[in-house]
């Protein structure tokens, strides 16, 4: 281990004393070492300066700490905006992407996707069990949860209008209490299999499923069928059945919608769109979002000589070059017809459309002087800049010696950049854009710096509760929303350091038996209620201990009274163990087996004591859980459990009766079971005596 060396190991008085002690050797003629001597005054000044230098050398600056964290593979997490879902009525007008919404407190949201004019309208929700149909609309109206696939049921969804391209449904799934589900992984299958089918079109595979086979709430996107005829009640029907239910909880749904759309808590200030057009007149482009409708437009055309301004709105200076521009507003955004003669014809984007908020346009252009380490101030009104897509257009010196505009991107630090990297750093505390010094990051040439992509957000402050009064800014139409989640401020260095230490503390590789059990319980996409690793144990040869062999008994989180892992569940756990096992160690995930027994007891109790209550106490005591794996039946523990039951005064006699042949009784009367088994309590004969 490297030892920490303290560089600030001397104080002012110590430095002065050591320096005065060396004076007789360095200058014997200097005999007056008192404070009034000018030489001593200079010595004291140098001692003070040395102490300050040592203090600074011993400090770990934020820039150095950030660089060290990056070397260790940890970077502070970027800021992220909050997201919520909007419930758009089927008869509401269409909305383009980036349509602005505001809350009563002034918090801004934007649609992350367009709301089309033709949208599906969900009219009926039925549950079919055999020849019977159950209407689930009442459950959805009250928010009550129901199990559509219980007793081999099928969920039927009837639509009065069919979608244009895709059908996207939102499900609110009730997650059971207790063990949470582990985050999913692309290499692991969902815990169950669902089959989607359109009437007259057959089965269909979802384009995307955020619910992980209805394991939690989210969106499911299906491709709209080419042929979809009306059926019962004149509706378009979609069916959903469960072909394989797995060994975990039963799916319970409490909400279903076909009119939910995402909204992001952000405020777009500037946005650039890139196009590849042909180098000829009459080229039409379309900017399909609401921000382009209200923004000021600037067009840049890339020729063989580089980027050149083709058109600017009137609040900018007069454009240079051709300006044959015709434009109009469309339903979804803005159409522009341009003369692209002279554009570079190489198949790459050669047209850049810049849209900027007119109320902020004057502050989105800054003047750079071309000095190393230059900083430019950008007014963000105290809001957080989303740096992931933050970019600038700066005058740049190319290799051929010509200065042309070029795109510069945002980076977290300049320490790892070379002299030609076109990057900048955003300093949120000072609201400044800082460029490189020519050694770490390039230096822009003197000229205008234009903000190309800029979005502002409240980040952590945008996590608003459900039911916030959101309304569209253009017409004031109110809309319902779910809880806004995911808003996060930029991670501080101390938080990044703590996260790195937690990650280093967990190597992921398994060494001890506890490591293998913990690894099994962290299987992606599953709810593992319990796991116990058995080194050297093989169920096929239980009396022979195998070296370098580990069996892991797993219990799924299930609604069943006796949870039993199935083949799909065990396959996922085996894949997880295979990832993290040691070399030359064989692992196998096995289900627990249940061995039956019963109890005979004579108790002294109060007259009001009920046998049913005592049976419930014993059932809770022997309920399948991780602690019961391999744990036999102890007379003392069972006696203590009964003694704590309400109304029981004394346990006079207690006998354990084994039913399964794999259970044996020791000399003390306790039941001993194999390490991979769980005792199954089948009943009790209780004889109650009262005072």
Tokens standing for 3?
A: 């030892």
Are the C-beta atoms of 397 and 443 separated by less than 8 Å? Answer: no
Only one residue has tokens 């010094």, namely: 437
Note the pLDDT tens digit of each residue in 552-578.
999 999 989 999 999 999 999 999 999
Q: What is the pLDDT of residue 163?
A: 87
Kindly indicate the confidence band of residue 313, based on its pLDDT and cuts at 50, 70 and 90: low
Indicate the range of 52-61, 317-326, 388-397 predicted with least confidence. Answer: 317-326
Q: Is the dihedral of CA 318, 321, 326, 330 positive or negative?
A: negative
Q: What pTM value is reported for the model? A: 0.82
Only one residue has tokens 């004291």, namely: 44
Q: What is the pLDDT of residue 400?
A: 84
Indicate the range of 1-15, 323-337, 365-379, 448-462 predicted with least confidence. Answer: 323-337
Note the pLDDT tens digit of each residue in 258-304.
999 999 999 999 999 999 999 998 888 889 899 998 888 888 888 88
Average pLDDT on 391-407 reads 90
Average pLDDT on 412-439 reads 92
Buried b (16+ CB within 10 A) or exposed e, 153-166: bbbbbbbeebbeee
What does the DSSP assignment read for 308-366?
A: EEEEE-TTSPPP-S---EEEEE-SSSEEEEE--TT---SSS--EEEEEE-GGGGGGGEE
d(CA 104, CA 102): 7
């Amino acid at each position: 281990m490297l030892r920490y060396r303290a560089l600030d190991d001397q104080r002012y008085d110590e430095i002065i004393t050591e320096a005065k002690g060396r004076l007789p050797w360095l200058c014997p003629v200097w005999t007056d070492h008192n404070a009034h001597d000018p030489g001593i005054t200079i010595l004291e000044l140098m001692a003070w300066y040395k102490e300050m230098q040592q203090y600074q050398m011993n400090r770990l600056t934020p820039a150095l700490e950030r660089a060290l964290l990056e070397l260790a593979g940890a970077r502070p997490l970027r800021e992220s905006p909050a997201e919520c879902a909007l419930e758009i009525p089927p008869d509401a007008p269409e909305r383009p992407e980036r349509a602005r919404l505001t809350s009563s407190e002034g918090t801004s949201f934007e649609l992350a996707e367009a709301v089309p004019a033709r949208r599906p309208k969900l009219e009926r929700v039925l549950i079919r069990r055999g020849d019977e149909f159950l209407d689930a609309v009442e459950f959805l109206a009250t928010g009550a949860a129901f199990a559509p696939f219980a007793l081999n049921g099928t969920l039927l969804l009837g639509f009065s209008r069919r979608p244009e391209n895709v059908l996207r449904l939102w499900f609110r799934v009730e997650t059971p209490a207790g063990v949470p589900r582990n985050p999913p992984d692309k290499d692991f299958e969902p815990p169950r299999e669902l089959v989607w089918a359109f009437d007259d079109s057959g089965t269909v595979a979802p384009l995307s499923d955020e619910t992980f086979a209805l394991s939690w709430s989210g969106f499911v996107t299906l491709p709209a069928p080419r042929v979809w005829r009306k059926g019962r009640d004149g509706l378009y029907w979609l069916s959903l059945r469960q072909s394989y239910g797995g060994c975990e909880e039963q799916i319970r749904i409490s909400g279903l919608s076909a009119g939910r759309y995402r909204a992001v808590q952000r405020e777009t200030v500037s946005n650039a769109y890139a196009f590849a057009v042909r180098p000829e007149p009459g080229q039409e482009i379309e900017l399909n979002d609401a921000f382009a409708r209200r923004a000021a437009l600037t067009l840049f055309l890339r020729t063989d000589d580089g980027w050149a301004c083709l058109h600017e709105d009137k609040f900018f200076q007069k454009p240079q070059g051709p300006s044959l521009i015709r434009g109009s507003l469309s339903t979804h955004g803005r159409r522009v017809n341009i003369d692209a003669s002279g554009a570079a014809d190489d198949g790459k984007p050669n047209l850049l459309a810049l849209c900027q908020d007119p109320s902020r346009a004057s502050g989105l252009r800054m003047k750079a002087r071309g000095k190393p380490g230059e900083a430019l101030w950008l007014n963000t009104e105290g809001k957080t800049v989303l740096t992931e897509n933050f970019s600038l257009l700066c005058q740049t010196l190319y290799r051929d010696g010509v200065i042309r505009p070029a795109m510069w991107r945002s980076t977290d630090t300049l320490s790892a950049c070379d002299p030609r990297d076109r990057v900048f750093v955003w300093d949120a505390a000072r609201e400044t854009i800082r460029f490189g010094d020519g050694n770490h990051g390039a230096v822009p040439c003197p000229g205008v710096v234009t903000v190309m992509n800029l979005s502002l957000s409240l980040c952590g402050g945008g996590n608003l509760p459900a039911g916030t009064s959101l309304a569209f800014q253009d017409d004031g139409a109110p809309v319902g929303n779910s809880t806004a989640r995911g808003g996060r401020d930029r991670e501080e260095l101390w938080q990044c350091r703590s996260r790195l230490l937690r990650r280093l503390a967990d190597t992921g590789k398994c060494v001890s038996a506890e490591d293998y059990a913990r690894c099994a319980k962290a299987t992606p996409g599953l709810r593992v209620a319990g796991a116990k690793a058995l080194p050297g144990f093989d169920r096929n040869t239980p009396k022979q201990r195998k070296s370098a062999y580990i069996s892991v008994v797993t219990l799924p989180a299930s609604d069943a009274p006796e949870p039993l892992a199935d083949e799909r569940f065990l396959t996922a756990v085996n894949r997880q163990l295979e990832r993290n096992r040691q070399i030359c160690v064989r692992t196998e995930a096995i289900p627990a087996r249940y061995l039956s027994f019963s109890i005979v007891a004579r108790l002294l109790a109060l007259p009001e004591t009920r046998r049913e209550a005592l049976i419930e106490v014993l059932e809770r005591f022997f309920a399948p859980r991780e602690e019961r794996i391999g744990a036999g039946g102890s007379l003392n523990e069972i006696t203590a459990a009964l003694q704590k039951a309400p109304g029981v005064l004394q346990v006079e006699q207690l006998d354990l009766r084994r039913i399964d042949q794999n259970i044996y009784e020791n000399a003390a009367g306790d039941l001993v079971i194999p390490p991979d088994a769980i005792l199954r309590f089948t009943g009790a004969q209780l004889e109650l005596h009262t005072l």
